Structure 1
Amino acid sequence: MKAILYVGHGTRSKKGENEAKAFLQKVMAKVDTPIQEISFLELSSPSIDEGFQRCVERGATEVSVVPILLLTAGHMKHDIPAELAAIQTRHPQIPITLQQAFGVQENILDAIAELVRENVLDLTSEDSILIVGRGSSDPEIHTAFSEIEKGIQERLCVARISSCYLAAAEPKFHDGLEVMLEEATQRVIVIPYLLFSGLLLSEVILWCKKRGPKVIQIDPLSRHKVMEDVVVQIATEGTKHDAILNG
């Protein structure tokens, strides 16, 4: 019997954890698979190992792992595969398929543009946009954010757009915001490229409030319904480049 194991990042924020679980409950209601479980890579429970064990206890004979990650970086390339490899050695009879992260998709970029327009009804070409990512030491992250910048620029046609990061990459959020404020002639629209609430989003909210009315911060991405659709599609159809751990 097929099972789906969703793997979120995890957070120390109870609000963020509850948001992730509520989001995934909505996804699970749309996916016609008998066994579905939620797990987290770190900081929240249940763990990947615990979630997998629940799948086994419910009769799973194969498990598709769906990472709830926006982009491919260290967690996707190393941490989750390492966890699953250890699990696979304990359950060699159960095939494990690891699906891909969301990646830069046109429908996600469309959703971001809609969130901006909903929050800034009088958006003009003189406004500027700052995209704030979680950050990673993986160089592919910069490539991805260049694509995201280009896609948002094409959709919103603002004066300037740039990206910054909350950890593990440059420029840092505080520096990126200050530079943008110095260069911007009108408002700065801050887009947190994050799915849920959490300590990182709290940092963004705090700094945006400190900088006053010239800075407008947009909601995290999971506020748009299309993000549920993205996960449903991955869960039901898989991805083009699945990594089959056992062979």
Structure 2
Amino acid sequence: MKAILYVGHGTRSKKGAEEAKAFLQRVINQVDDAPIQEISFLELTPPFIDQAFKRCVERGATEITVVPLFLLAAGHIKKDIPEALLKSQENYPAIQVEMKDPFGVQDEILDAVEELVLSVVEDISPEDSVLIVGRGSSDPSIHKAFAEIADGLGRRIGTDKVSVCYLAAASPNFEEGLETVSQRTTGKVIVIPYLLFSGLLLSEVIQNVRARQRSGETIYCTGPLTEHRAIEKLFIKQILKDEK
């Protein structure tokens, strides 16, 4: 019997965890390809991968498709999730396990981000500066991916003043990136947190933006990517790909 095991990142934020679970439950309600579907998280938010894997088996799963709810392929996708799955696979060696890819850089996501930006700032000029804020990773492929994201968003929004910074594990860090863009811009500053859900990282971004707004700076910030329903539709599309 087929099962789908969804894997989110996890967060200490109650709001962020609730958003992720609600998102995945909406997905489950729309995916009828597998009779067994379970939600799990890599860290911080239960149920964890081993618990949800066991639940799939107890419900009768003979093959499990692992679907990561991650934007890009970095250390969590290449190392952490496979390692977390390894113990479960050793405990249940008869179970066939396949792991799907994360979102990656896709036009549909960039189109959705453009719409999120336009919902916050209607009049964008070539003088405006955009700061994309990634979660961050030591994996060098992340820098390549964000270079593609920056180029794609710049072309869509109509400015070549697009910078990238990171909240952890990569440079420039968020504080450095925000200060540099604020000093150099001759127009508005538009901050785009490239994150799926609310959480402590997004709160950090929003707090910094609001502090600058109070000081008189013309700066705006979009919400998490899942505020746009295109992300949900794309996630479902990737789940069903090659399954029929």
- Relative to the length of structure 2, the TM-score reads 0.96
Residue by residue, what CA displacement relative to the aligned partner does 1:186-213 show, whole Å, maximum 9, x if unpaired?
A: 1100000000000000100110011114
**3-state SS of 1:132 partner:** strand
Question: Paired residue for 2:59?
Answer: 58
Cα gap change, 1:189 to 1:238, in 2 (>3 Å): farther
Question: Paired residue for 1:163?
Answer: 164
**3-state SS of 2:168 partner:** coil
How many pairs are equivalent?
239
Question: Paired residue for 2:219?
Answer: 215
Residue by residue, what CA displacement relative to the aligned partner does 1:131-183 show, whole Å, maximum 9, x if unpaired?
A: 00000000000000000001001101125001000000000000000000011
Question: Paired residue for 2:22?
Answer: 22
Question: Paired residue for 1:244?
Answer: none
- AA aligned opposite 1:14: K
- Mean Cα deviation higher: 119-128 or 188-197: 119-128
Q: Give how far 1:226 is off.
A: 1.0
Any residues of structure 2 matched to 1:164-183 within 5 Å, and which? 164-183=165-184
Residue by residue, what CA displacement relative to the aligned partner does 1:30-83 show, whole Å, maximum 9, x if unpaired?
A: 111211110000000000011111111111110000000000100000000111
Q: How many percent identity over aligned positions?
A: 56
Query: Residues of 2 paired with 1:237 and 1:70: CA distance?
Result: 17
- AA aligned opposite 1:125: P
Please state if 1:231 is matched with 2:242.
Answer: no
Query: Residues of 1 paired with 2:158 and 2:242: CA distance?
Result: 34
Cα gap change, 1:179 to 1:238, in 2 (>3 Å): farther
Any residues of structure 2 matched to 1:7-156 within 5 Å, and which? 7-32=7-32, 33-156=34-157
Cα gap change, 1:153 to 1:130, in 2 (>3 Å): same
Query: Residues of 1 paired with 2:91 and 2:222: CA distance?
Result: 44
Question: Paired residue for 1:242?
Answer: none
- Mean Cα deviation higher: 34-43 or 115-124: 115-124
- AA aligned opposite 1:118: S
C-alpha contact (below 8 Å) 1:111/1:224 kept by paired residues: yes
**3-state SS of 1:129 partner:** strand
Q: Give how far 1:125 is off.
A: 2.0
C-alpha contact (below 8 Å) 1:99/1:238 kept by paired residues: no
Query: Residues of 2 paired with 1:36 and 1:116: CA distance?
Result: 34
Any residues of structure 2 matched to 1:192-211 within 5 Å, and which? 192-211=193-212
- AA aligned opposite 2:24: L
Q: Give how far 1:238 is off.
A: 5.0
Structure 1 residues not aligned, in runs of 5+: 240-247
Stretches (4+) displaced over 3 A: none
- Relative to the length of structure 1, the TM-score reads 0.95
Q: Give how far 1:84 is off.
A: 1.2
Structure 2 residues not aligned, in runs of 5+: none
Query: Residues of 2 paired with 1:27 and 1:217: CA distance?
Result: 27
Residue by residue, what CA displacement relative to the aligned partner does 1:97-141 show, whole Å, maximum 9, x if unpaired?
A: 011111000100110001101111122222110000000000000
Question: Paired residue for 1:2?
Answer: 2
C-alpha contact (below 8 Å) 2:136/2:168 kept by paired residues: yes
- AA aligned opposite 1:141: I
Please state if 1:187 is matched with 2:188.
Answer: yes
Query: Residues of 1 paired with 2:18 and 2:12: CA distance?
Result: 11
Query: Residues of 2 paired with 1:65 and 1:140: CA distance?
Result: 22
